[in-house]
Structure 1
Amino acid sequence: MKQVVQNYKSGELALLDVPAPGCKPGGVLVRSAFSLISTGTELMKVSEAGMSMVGKARSRPDQVAKVMQSVATNGVPATYRKVMGKLDSYTPLGYSLCGVVEQVGAGVDDVKVGDLVACAGNEHALHAELNWVPTNLYAPVPDGLAPRHAAFGTVGSIAMQGVRQGDPRLGEVALVIGLGLIGQLVVQLLTASGVRVVGADPDPGRCELAERLGAVACGDPGSTAVKAAVAELTDGHGVDQTYLAAGGGSNQPVELAAELSRDRGRVVDIGKCRLDLPWNAYYEKELDVRFSRSYGPGRYDPEYELEGRDYPIGYVRWTERRNLACFLDLVARGRVDVEPLVSHVAEFDDAVETYQRLKEGELKAVAVLFRYPAQPPESERATAPAVTVPAVPAPRRPAARAAASASPVRLAFVGAGNYATSMLLPHLAGREGVELATVVTTTALSAANAQRKFGFAEATTDLDAVLGDPSVDAMFVVTRHSSHAELTRKALLAGKAVFVEKPLALTEEELAGVVAAVEESGNDRLQVGFNRRFAPLLNEAKQQFGTRSGPASLRYLVNAGRLQHGSWYLRQGTEGSRFAGEGGHFVDTASWLLGADPVSVYATAPAGDEDLQIVLGYPDGSTATLSYVTTGPGSFPKETLDLVADGKVLRFDDFVRAAVYDGRRKRVVGSRLPQARDKGQNAELAAFVRAVRTGGPMPVPLESLVATTAATLAVRRGLAAGAPVTLAGAR
């Protein structure tokens, strides 16, 4: 299928051929009929992409701060790869469309194939021929409403949420500053609510259009006409509410709002204009400044948008989906007229040219629609007690690859997110003896980006095609945590060698399912992405420490830090706890250093379930204490550990420095510049590829992978029981 994309690094716009998205549960697959260009939001994004790197940094200081924090934590090379990977990728455009339901996912019963729906979301209502849309981001189109008008649903919802924030009352007077697409819709919604409206915009054509659509008077923001109209309509008191629907860097809108508002008036920011509030003016009138967040309640809440969890109507009357349905109803009943806003309708094949004309100012428009090719006929479409560690069966190992030395190892990636593209694929692309065969993602554009950047032979959204491809030797599972166990199980049953990023499983039942797949298939070719045991500096330190004769004591401090609000790591209902997701890294490192698998786990949470103190017990009496904390400062190193045994101490500082203390001697093992931390991914991947090529043992024994995962999961059970957990069956 085709999709409009932009490279944020170069500014290039393209109509790209990408794999069609699959239809997942909890949503529908929609074939686009019309999609709307937001001439404000989207052109701002297009313009930013054309800036220099310095210009991009100045326009997004919030992102610069994140980069600097990443440099402090991960070093310059890893951060550079991550940032350049994001910049030099195609990003989607679009967020408002109307289309026909082509496939209905499991759990959806309010629409059927063939229904017309309006769709929202900058990840789900893209300028693309097909989109998968979750249930709370679409609404059925009322009978008789034209698809081209229903395509305004999302921007209409944005305008409606702004008006709701303004709390308009019958007979009031409102000022709308900025008469672009959102401003024109705000004018109509206010008029439909019984509010008299004055508009302000420097474009005479837009002022004339707003007056035709219901505004009492409009004019240039700096003109006396606007001030005179406000004075006449309000008897000199000022407007009850002002809507900032303008963009740009001028502070004129907020200053005009203060000047023309009445005492204790309401000012609502809908657009993205400069907000340097003149303190005296706003203080003296005690103005109520409000912000309108996109389409309405539910926006940016992944449980609402992605998981379909609606808010009870008795507590949240107008969610983003209800706003969408309400706007469609108003347009269908003629209370809002969007046809006068349509400045141009372009064929979808002309999308790139249309954006260029808008950017260069050749095409003056309030709203532009893309019209998609007619849907083809169906016949032409392609279709705390003891935890039992699962016993690992003796494998019936598949034969080693034929002609291993002559043919490259063919790899398939399922998932191509930040970690895969910054920490794994750069080490595999171009590696001798490796062929990147196929990349599979749920979103078409991410697969296309990975194919372009790393040279995959194919990109698809069809997992079954990869599982059934006998030429694929190994499959990398680099998806979100909740899917790891099931994807690993399927790949093992399909006879593939599997590299799965941590965690292997989120529950004991999932772990047992993976082990059962090994038993059923006889395929034990499994590696979990526990990369720290492959880190060169840590290996050097372990070698210098040497063998030990007595029990050891290990202390491991993990300064994990706080997650950004909205991170999918916080979705404990579906993705497990944060420690379940990444704690296996630290359990594996401790067990590797101590040369055994844990037999007991004791966990406490002195500051709640996020800050954990975990004591692992080992067969020879050794202990490892893991302090996993999220409340430490970002300036402190993320990982530090001390291993004490036989009168010796191994000290390791965050993949930068290491030393071994023996008697009175201190031997500096080696040092790395903070910018060049090597956490072992390259060596880990080399070992995995070598094992797949030769048919030799996997880099980490399966028994150890299972024991580490069981110990990680036992932390939750131990917290609930408040007592040590014995890992029954552990070696």
Structure 2
Amino acid sequence: MKQVVQNYKSGELALLDVPVPGCKPGGVLVRTAYSLISTGTELMKVSEAGMSMLGKARSRPDQVAKVVQSVAANGVPATYRKVMGKLDSYTPLGYSLCGVVEQAGAGTDEVKVGDLVACAGNEHALHAELNWVPKNLYARVPDGLAPRHAAFGTVGSIALQGVRRGEPQLGDVALVVGLGLIGQLVVQLLAASGVRVVGADPDPARCDLAAGLGAVACGDPGSTALDAAVAELTGGHGVDQVYLAAAGGGNQPVELAARLSRDRGRVVDIGKCRLDLPWNAYYEKELDVRFSRSYGPGRYDPEYELEGRDYPIGYVRWTERRNLACFLDLLARRRVDVEPLVSHVADFEDAVETYGRLKDGGLKAVAVLFRYPGHAEEPEPAAVAAPTVSAVPAVSAAGTGQGGGKPAPVRSAGMPVRLAFVGAGNYATSMLLPHLAQHDGAELSAVVTTTALSALNAKRKFGFTQATTDLDAVLGDPAVDAVFVVTRHGSHAELTRRALLAGKAVFVEKPLALTEDELAGVLAAVEESGNDRLQVGFNRRFAPLLREARKRFGVRGGPASLRYLVNAGRLEKGSWYLRQDTEGSRFTGEGGHFVDTASWLLAADPVSVYAVTAPGDEHLQVVLRYPDGSTATLSYVTAGPPGFPKETLDLVGDGRVLRFDDFVRAAVYDGRRKRWVGSRLPRARDKGQRAELDAFLTAVRTGGPMPVPLRSLAATTAATLAVRASLAGGAPVTLAATR
């Protein structure tokens, strides 16, 4: 299929062939009939991509701050790879469309194949021939509403939510500043609500358009005529609400709002304009400044948008999906008319040219639509597409599913190991694939993702032979020797199980499993298939500085004590790491790294786990006990200062001390003197990924032992999972020996 994309680094726009997205549960696969260009939001993004690197940095200071933090935590090279990987990638455009349901995933009974739906979301309602859309981001189009009009559903929801935030009443007078696409819709919605509307925009043509759509007066924001019209309509008191639908860096809209508002009026920011509030003016009138967050309640909430968890109507009357349905209803009943806003309809194959004309001013438009091949003005039933399989399947019962797979044959000497990647997110593209793409012993055969564009980006940047969303085809390909599972945590165990049963060597990023049942399912797959070629991404034990420190420390003769402080830091609100119901706790996802490092340093697997935490506190104290009496205390904290190193540890035993400071410095003390001091590496923190990958590829190519015994991988995972059980029971948990 084809999709419009942009390279944020170069500003290049392209219409590319990308894999068809898989139809996952909880959503529908939609074939687009029309998609709408937001001439405000999208063109701002297009223009920003054309800036210099300095210009981009100035426009996004929040992202610059994140880069600085990443440099402090991970060093310059790793941060550079991550930042450039994001910049030099194709990103999607679009967020409002109408199309026909081509395939319905499980849990979407309210629509069926052939239904016409309006779709929303800058990750789902893209300028692409096919899109997978979760259930709370689409609404069925009422009978008789033209698809080209239904494509306005998302921008209509934005305007509608802005009006709701203003709480207009019959007889009010409102000022709409900025008469672009959103402003024109706000004018109509207010007029339909019995509000007299005044419009402000420096473009006379847009003022005339708004007047034709219900505004009682319009004018240039700086004109005295606009002030006079407001004074006449309000008896000199000022407007009841001001809706800021303008964009740009000037402060004129905010100052205009203060001048023309009544005492205790409301100012609602819908667009993205400068908000340097003149304090005296806003204070003296006690103006109520409000923000309108996109489509409405549910926006940016992953549980609502991605998992389909609706808000009870008794508590949240108008969610983003209900706003979408409401706006479609207004269109169908002709309370709002979007046809006068359609400045241009372009065939989808002319998308790049259309963006170019909009950017250089050759096409002046309020709204532009893309028309897709094979569309129909009236919805027609669509043929049922052949089933596609998601790259992240639902978890099935442990030990069931595909079976009979044989371990992949050993590669001939000198032949590269043929790899398939399932997932191509930040970690895969910044920490694993840069090494593998340059590795003589690896051949990147296929990349599988659930979103088409991420697979295409990985193929383009790292040289994969194939990009796809069909996991079954990749697992069934006898040419693939090994599978890398680098998806979100909740899918690791099931994907690993399936790949083992298919006879592939598997490298899975931590964690291996989120529950004891998932771990049992992986081990059952090993037993069923006879395939134990498994590696988990516990990379710390491969870090060169830590390996040298362990060597210098030497062999122990008695028990040792290890202290490991992990200054994990706080996560941003909305991070998928915080979605414990689907991705496990934060320690379950990350803690295996530290358990594995401790066990490797102590050369044994733990026999018991005891964990404590203060009520309501995210800080964990975990004590691991080992067969020879050694102990390891892991302090996992999230509220430490970001400037403090993330990982520090001390190992004490046999009169010696090993001190390790965040992959930058290490030392071994013996008696009263320093026995060894590692060199300081100020620009790089090598956490072992390269050496880990080398070891895995060597094992797969030669058929030799895997870098870490399966018994140890299972023991580390079991110990990590036991932390939750210890916290629940308030007592140590004894670990059973793992087969």
Could you say which TM-score interval applies, normalised by the shorter chain? over 0.9
Residue 35 of structure 1 corresponds to which residue in structure 2? 35
Instruction: State whether residues 598 and 730 of structure 1, in contact with CA within 8 Å, keep that contact through their aligned partners in structure 2.
Output: no
Cα displacement (A) at 1:609 = 5.1
Cα 1:666–1:406, aligned 2, differ >3 Å: closer, same or farther? closer
1:472-551 equivalence runs, <5 A: 472-551=480-559
Residue 432 of structure 1 corresponds to which residue in structure 2? 440
Scaled by the length of structure 2, the TM-score of the pair is 0.96
Residue 457 of structure 1 corresponds to which residue in structure 2? 465
1:261-272 equivalence runs, <5 A: 261-272=261-272
1:626-705 equivalence runs, <5 A: 626-705=634-713
Cα 1:97–1:378, aligned 2, differ >3 Å: closer, same or farther? closer
- Secondary structure of the structure 1 residue equivalent to 2:3: strand
Residue 299 of structure 2 corresponds to which residue in structure 1? 299
Cα displacement (A) at 1:398 = 5.7
Instruction: State whether residues 101 and 382 of structure 2, in contact with CA within 8 Å, keep that contact through their aligned partners in structure 1.
Output: no
- Secondary structure of the structure 1 residue equivalent to 2:309: coil
Residues 1:410 and 2:418 are matched in the alignment: yes
Cα displacement (A) at 1:624 = 0.2
Instruction: State whether residues 30 and 102 of structure 2, in contact with CA within 8 Å, keep that contact through their aligned partners in structure 1.
Output: yes
Cα displacement (A) at 1:218 = 0.4
Residue 175 of structure 2 aligns to which amino acid in structure 1? L
Find 2:478's aligned residue among 470, 475, 486: 470
- Give CA-to-partner distance per residue, 1:153-203, whole Å, 9 cap, x none: 000000000000000000000000000000000000000000000000000
Residue 329 of structure 2 corresponds to which residue in structure 1? 329
Residue 585 of structure 2 corresponds to which residue in structure 1? 577
Cα displacement (A) at 1:404 = 1.8
Cα displacement (A) at 1:608 = 3.2
Cα displacement (A) at 1:15 = 0.3
Residues 1:198 and 2:206 are matched in the alignment: no
The 2-side partners of 1:729 and 1:380 are apart by 51
The 2-side partners of 1:379 and 1:25 are apart by 20
- Give CA-to-partner distance per residue, 1:651-678, whole Å, 9 cap, x none: 0000000000000111343223232100
Q: Tell me, which stretches of 5 or more residues in structure 1 are unaligned?
A: 384-389
Deviates more, 1:203-212 or 1:406-415: 406-415
Cα 1:380–1:562, aligned 2, differ >3 Å: closer, same or farther? closer
Cα displacement (A) at 1:728 = 1.8
Residue 430 of structure 2 corresponds to which residue in structure 1? 422
The 2-side partners of 1:346 and 1:500 are apart by 45
- Secondary structure of the structure 2 residue equivalent to 1:272: coil
The 1-side partners of 2:469 and 2:680 are apart by 40
Residue 143 of structure 2 corresponds to which residue in structure 1? 143
The 2-side partners of 1:253 and 1:155 are apart by 21
Residue 278 of structure 1 corresponds to which residue in structure 2? 278
- Secondary structure of the structure 2 residue equivalent to 1:675: coil
- Secondary structure of the structure 2 residue equivalent to 1:421: helix
Instruction: State whether residues 401 and 694 of structure 1, in contact with CA within 8 Å, keep that contact through their aligned partners in structure 2.
Output: no
Residue 565 of structure 1 aligns to which amino acid in structure 2? K
Cα displacement (A) at 1:305 = 0.2
Residue 343 of structure 1 corresponds to which residue in structure 2? 343
Cα displacement (A) at 1:590 = 0.2
Residue 608 of structure 1 aligns to which amino acid in structure 2? G
Cα 1:193–1:379, aligned 2, differ >3 Å: closer, same or farther? closer
Residue 217 of structure 1 corresponds to which residue in structure 2? 217
- Give CA-to-partner distance per residue, 1:24-82, whole Å, 9 cap, x none: 00000000000000000000000000000000000000000000000000000000000
Percent identity, aligned pairs only, is 85
Cα 1:211–1:597, aligned 2, differ >3 Å: closer, same or farther? same
- Secondary structure of the structure 1 residue equivalent to 2:428: helix
Instruction: State whether residues 34 and 147 of structure 1, in contact with CA within 8 Å, keep that contact through their aligned partners in structure 2.
Output: yes
Residue 395 of structure 2 corresponds to which residue in structure 1? none
The 2-side partners of 1:403 and 1:254 are apart by 68
Cα displacement (A) at 1:625 = 0.1
Instruction: State whether residues 410 and 700 of structure 2, in contact with CA within 8 Å, keep that contact through their aligned partners in structure 1.
Output: no
Instruction: State whether residues 578 and 610 of structure 1, in contact with CA within 8 Å, keep that contact through their aligned partners in structure 2.
Output: no
- Give CA-to-partner distance per residue, 1:420-460, whole Å, 9 cap, x none: 00000000002102110000000000000000000000000
- Give CA-to-partner distance per residue, 1:353-398, whole Å, 9 cap, x none: 0000000000000000000001699779666xxxxxx99xxxx996
Residue 35 of structure 2 aligns to which amino acid in structure 1? S
Residue 561 of structure 1 aligns to which amino acid in structure 2? G
- Secondary structure of the structure 1 residue equivalent to 2:678: strand
Residue 642 of structure 1 aligns to which amino acid in structure 2? D
Find 1:715's aligned residue among 700, 716, 723: 723
Residue 392 of structure 2 corresponds to which residue in structure 1? none
Residue 312 of structure 1 corresponds to which residue in structure 2? 312
Residues 1:725 and 2:710 are matched in the alignment: no
Instruction: State whether residues 552 and 676 of structure 2, in contact with CA within 8 Å, keep that contact through their aligned partners in structure 1.
Output: no
Instruction: State whether residues 609 and 733 of structure 2, in contact with CA within 8 Å, keep that contact through their aligned partners in structure 1.
Output: yes
The 1-side partners of 2:106 and 2:625 are apart by 44
Deviates more, 1:196-205 or 1:403-412: 403-412
- Secondary structure of the structure 2 residue equivalent to 1:257: helix
- Secondary structure of the structure 2 residue equivalent to 1:189: helix
Residue 128 of structure 2 aligns to which amino acid in structure 1? A
Instruction: State whether residues 504 and 709 of structure 1, in contact with CA within 8 Å, keep that contact through their aligned partners in structure 2.
Output: yes
- Give CA-to-partner distance per residue, 1:280-322, whole Å, 9 cap, x none: 0000000000000000000000000000000000000000000
Residues 1:103 and 2:111 are matched in the alignment: no
Q: Cα RMSD (Å) of the superposition?
A: 1.5
Cα 1:707–1:298, aligned 2, differ >3 Å: closer, same or farther? same
Residues 1:604 and 2:612 are matched in the alignment: yes
The 1-side partners of 2:472 and 2:617 are apart by 38
Residue 534 of structure 2 aligns to which amino acid in structure 1? L
Q: Tell me, which stretches of 5 or more residues in structure 2 are unaligned?
A: 388-397
Residues 1:556 and 2:564 are matched in the alignment: yes
Residue 119 of structure 2 corresponds to which residue in structure 1? 119
- Give CA-to-partner distance per residue, 1:210-253, whole Å, 9 cap, x none: 00000001011001111111000000000000000000111000
Residue 92 of structure 1 aligns to which amino acid in structure 2? P
The 2-side partners of 1:540 and 1:139 are apart by 60
The 1-side partners of 2:175 and 2:407 are apart by 76
Instruction: State whether residues 667 and 677 of structure 2, in contact with CA within 8 Å, keep that contact through their aligned partners in structure 1.
Output: yes
The 2-side partners of 1:248 and 1:4 are apart by 25
Instruction: State whether residues 399 and 695 of structure 1, in contact with CA within 8 Å, keep that contact through their aligned partners in structure 2.
Output: no
- Secondary structure of the structure 1 residue equivalent to 2:113: coil
Cα displacement (A) at 1:108 = 1.0
The 2-side partners of 1:202 and 1:187 are apart by 16
The 2-side partners of 1:167 and 1:619 are apart by 68
Residue 268 of structure 1 aligns to which amino acid in structure 2? V
Cα displacement (A) at 1:401 = 3.3
The 1-side partners of 2:614 and 2:219 are apart by 62
The 2-side partners of 1:135 and 1:125 are apart by 12
- Secondary structure of the structure 1 residue equivalent to 2:591: helix
The 1-side partners of 2:489 and 2:529 are apart by 23
The 1-side partners of 2:423 and 2:653 are apart by 42
Residue 512 of structure 1 aligns to which amino acid in structure 2? A
The 2-side partners of 1:137 and 1:397 are apart by 39
Give the number of equivalent residue pairs: 721
- Secondary structure of the structure 1 residue equivalent to 2:77: helix
Instruction: State whether residues 6 and 12 of structure 1, in contact with CA within 8 Å, keep that contact through their aligned partners in structure 2.
Output: yes
The 1-side partners of 2:559 and 2:68 are apart by 41
Find 2:597's aligned residue among 586, 589, 600: 589
- Give CA-to-partner distance per residue, 1:471-528, whole Å, 9 cap, x none: 0000000000000000000000000000000000000000000000000000000000
Cα 1:399–1:42, aligned 2, differ >3 Å: closer, same or farther? closer
The 2-side partners of 1:399 and 1:110 are apart by 44
Residue 387 of structure 1 corresponds to which residue in structure 2? none
Scaled by the length of structure 1, the TM-score of the pair is 0.97
The 1-side partners of 2:29 and 2:406 are apart by 39
The 2-side partners of 1:521 and 1:542 are apart by 36
Instruction: State whether residues 244 and 253 of structure 2, in contact with CA within 8 Å, keep that contact through their aligned partners in structure 1.
Output: yes
- Secondary structure of the structure 2 residue equivalent to 1:678: coil
Residue 362 of structure 2 corresponds to which residue in structure 1? 362
Cα displacement (A) at 1:138 = 0.2
